[in-house]
Amino acid sequence: MITAPLHLAWRYVSRHRLQTLLLAGALALVMALPLCLRVLVGAAESAMRQRASDTPQLLGSRGSALDLMLTALYFKRQPLPTVTMAHLHELRDTQLAEAIPLDARFHAQQTPIIGTEIEYFSFRHLRLAQGKMLTRLGDCVIGARVAAQRGLAQGGALFSSQEQVFDMAGVYPLKMRITGVLAANGSADDDAIFVDLKTTWLIEGLAHGHDDVSTRPDAVLKATPDNLIANSSVRMFSEVTDANLGSFHFHGDDSAHQLSAIIVRPKDAKSEALLAGRYQKSSLPVQLIQPIQEYDLLMSTLFQMEKLAYSILAVTLLAAATVSALVFTLSFRIRRREFSTLADIGISPRDLILTKAFEAALVGALSLLFAGLITALVQWNAAQWIRQMLS
């Protein structure tokens, strides 16, 4: 005969909805915290490990290896010392590895603009969902989430952001033509805008296009055999078009141009070892790292923190359980008269205990349900939140 105590408990709990929901909600939050933490750490692990293990080596400026990994793999926005195109040429000259340059210094609002070469797309197994790849200077291909969130598609356009707000005389934002949208692949690539490396130099101001000064003698202020100085009536182009493409030109030696990092794909294990040895010297301005090692280091730190967090949460859970027990004890004490009434009308002590136990169990079950819902919600969004945290 447990249906009567259960029914009585249910009637009490359902009649006192607000108190029940408050208590169950508080308990659910405490129960959900460790579960959510595990879900988030798990999502971070799966999101980061695959990308790290897919990237054999990274060349970047000497400094924080973790920052280098976060920038090159997850396009995390942070000031990072750069390497130069000279390092890229030097690496390629060794013929020990394929090298893919990355320039992640520029943004379109909050979205990273990644300057790279076409090999990057095959390296990351990125394919187009619509449109075509980069065909000329000023073109861009956007990640799936960028397209979805900003409502962009092939044929649309994007402006690069000015990196320094107070540099009024600096480089103007570049209007970039969207030639394609990448298919979603559940990585940081979904949240990025990809351009050719030369386009990032254009954004940086190392290249530019303007009216043909030779046809505008009225605009020439000073002419020397090597140089022409024109006045401000000469139009600078902020967009590359088929009509003005020919006017864009680069100044200086490209070996000094900066890069955020270089993805290194050694030809074989021997080449990998040789390269590791070559860049081992601490006197060099660059470092060659293995992302998976940095990842494991990061995860071991995270694991320690997770263990600490679990210890704290276990104490919190114990405190919450104690408070709940106190709440129930006080509630039953306040309702002493009610239980004595039940005893008077013939309810046995065993049934009274069962009724109280069912009340506690119903609140506990509701807490578990809420905790499950919270955890499911976190699980549902974990991958996206982790990507946002990393970008």
218 lies in the binding site for another protein (CB under 8 A): no
265: Cβ contacts below 8 Å, ≥ 6 apart = 56, 57, 97, 98, 99, 100, 123
DSSP string for 132-167: ----STTEEEE-HHHHHHHT--TT-EEEPPPS-TT-
Return the number of the residue (362 or 371) whose C-beta is nearest another protein: 362
Binder among 149, 311, 348, 388 for another protein (CB under 8 A): 348
The amino acid occupying position 103 is: D
Residue 238: exposure state from Cβ atoms within 10 A (0-12, 13-18, ≥19): middle
How far is it, in rounded angstroms, from Cα 297 to Cα 70?
13
Q: Tell me which residue of 138, 106, 143, 105 sits closest to 121, measured CA to CA.
A: 143
Nearer to another protein, 135 or 341 (CB): 341
Q: What is the closest distance, in whole angstroms, from the C-beta atom of residue 338 to another protein in the complex?
A: 7
Interface segment toward another protein; rule CB under 8 A; list 95-103, 195-203, 312-320, 340-348: 340-348
Minimum CB–partner distance for residue 26 and another protein (Å): 22
Report the residue from 163, 167, 212, 338 that binds another protein according to the rule CB under 8 A. Answer: 338
Paired tokens of 148:
């979805």
Kindly state whether residue 19 participates in binding another protein, applying the rule CB under 8 A: no
Residue of 92, 351, 368, 372 that binds another protein (CB under 8 A): 351
Least Å distance between CB 327 and another protein? 18
Q: Interface with another protein by CB under 8 A: which range of 11-19, 107-115, 149-157, 223-231?
A: 11-19
Per CB under 8 A, does 353 bind another protein?
A: no
Complex with another protein: residue 13 or 137, whichever CB lies closer: 13
Q: Which is nearer to another protein, 21 or 184 (CB)?
A: 21
- What's the sign of the alpha-carbon dihedral 194, 196, 201, 203? negative
The residues that touch another protein, with contacts defined as CB under 8 A, are: 1, 3-5, 7-8, 11-12, 15-16, 338, 341-342, 344-348, 351
